[in-house]
Every structure is written in structure tokens, then in C-alpha cells.
Amino acid sequence: MTVVDHRQPSPQDDADRPEVPAAPPAVPRKRRSPLWARLTTTFGAVLLVASAGGLAGGKIMIEQTTSTIAVRDLTGDAKKTVEEGGGSTLEGPIDMLLMGVDKRESWSDDTLHADTIIILHIPATHDQAFLISVPRDTEVKVPAFTPSKYEGGTVKATEAFYWGAQNGAGASGGAQLLAKTLKNMTGISFDGAAIINFGGFKNVIDELGGVDMCVDQQVSSKHLVLVDGKPMYLADAKKAGESGKAVVHKVGCREMEGWEALDYARQRYGLENGDYDRQRHQQQLIKAMATKASEGGILSNPLKINPLIKAAGKAFTLDTGKIEITDFVLGLKNVAANDLVLLRTNNGTFSGNSSGREVFNETSLKMFQAVKKDTLAEFVLDHPDVIANEK
């Protein structure tokens, strides 16, 4: 996976850095689908400007197909200010907070936790994208939050969302409190955010026709069993008096249906590195979906886009700050198509305190500072161990 280095050499760099071979002459690269098209599955705007319709036709198409996506304020006080580079344009680096929740039909917002927390960073050069997973059990200091009547405290990152959603504040409140908590801890402010409902996400994957995933460790599901060959939540099977057959994700690469891909990406118990392996698998799933959407002809086929967007509208809640979704999409349409770079904290292993909660090591804290300063690409080149193994 290539990380683009935009630094200009300096005498100090030359003095401190070991000599490396000169880069080969640049050669023309085949232009792949733009990065925004590969990323839009992540935050719900799975679109492509119709080549025959030009900019005007593309804008109309985007307005029509994004009309079902719920738009809310998910960043609150953690929204990037004008002084920090935020505003009504997409100039400069882009930082998004992605939160995955497991909301079933009978569950209210004030029961939810953020089971998946990912920071998406696109540098000001708009030629790369980085995904950093924040472990759900990370110890965080959560500030007081008036909308949910929360007085503040020290909890796990996953619980910050829960406390923000209480007393009628809902999922938007949960997202705002988690965003504020992460800003206080990392210094990162956000241009926008997305809440992804795992249940709805399954339908998005099915509309894509499944995704290609590689299982690197055999693991048994802690959430589902097969009843008459169909997946059922373990708790629902017990209530129905069904024993079911264990769902076992065996090693190997294959195309997965929505339920299988999501279930595999949610497992952490029984994996060598626990939640870190789960984070990596979730990043892989996002990348697999983006790849399938951009390379399968879906984004250029209106007949395929419409049902996909309809499914996405039920799975996503989106915040693009002061920028309209249409302008947000169009503003990224010319971003070069480098691969997503998947990053990990704490070298991919659990680093806990006396309370059994995760704490970030010095390298991870410096990585977050690199996001804030928009020097992440350079940081990754100097600290290659932060790149997650995709296998």
C-alpha cells in the first residue's frame, strides 16, 4: 500500500535520515475511479456524476439520489471552526468521524453504544485517505453534556455515545458527545460525521451483490446462529426455543453476503489480537464495499444506484457540516484514486491500565497530532508499524 510523501527535503532531514535509493522516474498511471467514489459508501453518498450529463446533470442526479439520507448535526462543539480550516468549502484536509451502532427495530436510541469508532482523514492534497480505528474500550474523559443531562466522567469510548443519547438527546446527542470527547483527547476537530446502523448496512452490502472478504483466523460468531439455514440473532433463537447451528467463519477468501460479512467484521472474542483484529476486519469491509461500488459498474448505472441509495438512506445518518451533500460529493470528484490506508493504534495489541481499559501509547498520540497538523502521510512513512496488515 503506497503512502504519498509530499515533503520537501531539508538539510536537517538529510542529516537525520539514512540514505535511501532515489525514486524511479514517474510513469503515467492508469486513472482508476476517483477516491470519492470509493469512499462514498462509507458515509452514505454512493454516487457518480453521469459522464454524459455534465456537471449540471450530475448535480441533479446527486440531489435526487441523496434525498433519502438523514442529515443531522453529529459533531456539535467538535465541528471544525473556520480558524481550524472548516467552513463552506472542501479546501484543506478533511476529517470525518464514523460511528457504527447495532440498532434493532425494538431498541431505542438511548440503549445504543458506538461499537465501531473510525476517524477518516483525507490530507489537503486530496490524493490519499487514512482510516484510524479507535478501540471501543479506550479510556476517555467525557465532558458534561447538557442535552442528555450527563455530568461527565471517565468511561470507555463506546459508552460516550450512550451517555450522550440519554434523556431524549438521541443518536445525534450520542454522536456529538463522542465527537467532543475525541476532540478533547486527540485535538482533532471534524468536518462531518456519519452514524452507520449495522442492520441497515447489511442491506447495502446485499444491494452491492456481496463483497469479497478474506478470513485470516477461524472464528465462531458470538451474535448469530443458523436456524433452518438462515441467520438469526442468538438471543432471538433462544427466545424461540431454537438451538441453531453455530456460525463459523473459516479461513479463506470468498464473496460474502451482507449478514456474513457484517458478522465476521464484528467478532473480537477468539481472535489473536481481540478488538484490534476486529478493527482491522471492519476497515477491510469498508474498503471492500468501496471497491465493489466503484469497480462493479454500479456507480455508473442509475438503475443500480437508486436501490443502493435507498438502502443507504436507511443505514446512514450523515453530517457534512456547512456543506450541502451535493457540493460535498462534487467537491471530491477529482480526488486521485490512491488506496485507502488502514492504520492501527498501539501497534495492534492491547495496552491496558489498572482498570482494564485501553490507553494510547506515545506513538498513537503522536499519530493523532499528525492528523490535526495534516502531516499524517509523513508520520506513516516514519512509523510504518502503524499500518495495519490487511491479510
pLDDT one-digit tens code per residue, 104-162: 666 788 888 888 898 989 888 877 788 898 988 999 999 999 999 999 999 999 999 99
**67 pLDDT tier (thresholds 50, 70, 90):** low
- Average pLDDT on 263-289 reads 86
What is the domain range of residue 162? Answer: 32-211+288-386
**64 pLDDT tier (thresholds 50, 70, 90):** low
**319 pLDDT tier (thresholds 50, 70, 90):** confident
Per the model's pLDDT, the better-predicted residue between 354 and 309 turns out to be: 354
**The pLDDT of residue 297:** 66
**The pLDDT of residue 308:** 75
Per the model's pLDDT, the better-predicted residue between 214 and 280 turns out to be: 214
Q: How far apart are CA 300 and CA 37, in angstroms?
A: 10
In angstroms, what CA-CA distances link 100 with 86, 259, 289, 291, 372? 24, 15, 15, 20, 23
How many residues are recorded in the chain?
Answer: 391
Q: At what angle do helices 275-295 and 258-266 cross, to 10 degrees?
A: 150
Q: How far apart are CA 352 and CA 361, in angstroms?
A: 10
Half-sphere exposure of 263 (CA within 13 A, CB side): 23
Q: Which candidate, 151, 74, 66, 68, places its Cα nearest to that of 114? A: 74
3-state secondary structure of 320: coil
**22 pLDDT tier (thresholds 50, 70, 90):** very low
With respect to residue 185, please indicate whether it lies within any of the assigned structural domains.
yes
With respect to residue 243, please indicate whether it lies within any of the assigned structural domains.
no
Q: How far apart are CA 19 and CA 8, in angstroms?
A: 15
**The pLDDT of residue 218:** 97
Total number of domains constituting the chain: 1
Whole-number percent of the chain with pLDDT over 70 = 74
Residue type at position 217: Q
Q: How far apart are CA 85 and CA 91, in angstroms?
A: 8
Q: How far apart are CA 121 and CA 371, in angstroms?
A: 7
Surface-to-core class of residue 358, CB atoms within 10 Å of its CB (0-12 exposed, 13-18 middle, 19+ buried): buried
In angstroms, what CA-CA distances link 134 with 33, 182, 305? 28, 9, 31
**342 pLDDT tier (thresholds 50, 70, 90):** confident
pLDDT at 33 over 80: no
- Average pLDDT on 58-69 reads 60
Q: What is the pTM of this model?
A: 0.76
**The pLDDT of residue 311:** 76
pLDDT at 92 over 90: no
With respect to residue 4, please indicate whether it lies within any of the assigned structural domains.
no
CATH number (domain holding residue 125):
3.40.630.190
In angstroms, what CA-CA distances link 372 with 81, 148, 361? 13, 28, 17
**The pLDDT of residue 379:** 96
Per the model's pLDDT, the better-predicted residue between 377 and 37 turns out to be: 377
**The pLDDT of residue 232:** 93
**The pLDDT of residue 214:** 95
Q: How far apart are CA 30 and CA 110, in angstroms?
A: 48
3-state secondary structure of 15: helix
Longest CA pairwise span in the chain (Å): 72
pLDDT one-digit tens code per residue, 325-340: 666 666 555 554 445 7
**The pLDDT of residue 304:** 74
pLDDT at 7 over 70: no
**The pLDDT of residue 355:** 81
**The pLDDT of residue 14:** 37
Per the model's pLDDT, the better-predicted residue between 322 and 325 turns out to be: 322
With respect to residue 364, please indicate whether it lies within any of the assigned structural domains.
yes
Q: How far apart are CA 6 and CA 4, in angstroms?
A: 6
Residue type at position 91: E
**The pLDDT of residue 32:** 40
Which helix (H) or strand (E) segment holds residue 215: the answer is strand 211-215
With respect to residue 216, please indicate whether it lies within any of the assigned structural domains.
no
Enumerate the β-bridge partners of residue 132. Answer: 119, 343
**The pLDDT of residue 20:** 35
With respect to residue 163, please indicate whether it lies within any of the assigned structural domains.
yes
- Average pLDDT on 244-249 reads 95
CB 175 within 8 A of CB 145: no
C-alpha cell at 295: 469497480
With respect to residue 26, please indicate whether it lies within any of the assigned structural domains.
no
**The pLDDT of residue 150:** 97
Which helix (H) or strand (E) segment holds residue 141: the answer is strand 139-142
Q: How far apart are CA 312 and CA 66, in angstroms?
A: 9
CB 116 within 8 A of CB 282: yes
CB 275 within 8 A of CB 138: no
Q: How far apart are CA 224 and CA 74, in angstroms?
A: 30
241: left (phi over 0), alpha (psi -120 to 50) or beta: left
Name the average pLDDT for the chain.
Answer: 79
Per the model's pLDDT, the better-predicted residue between 121 and 14 turns out to be: 121
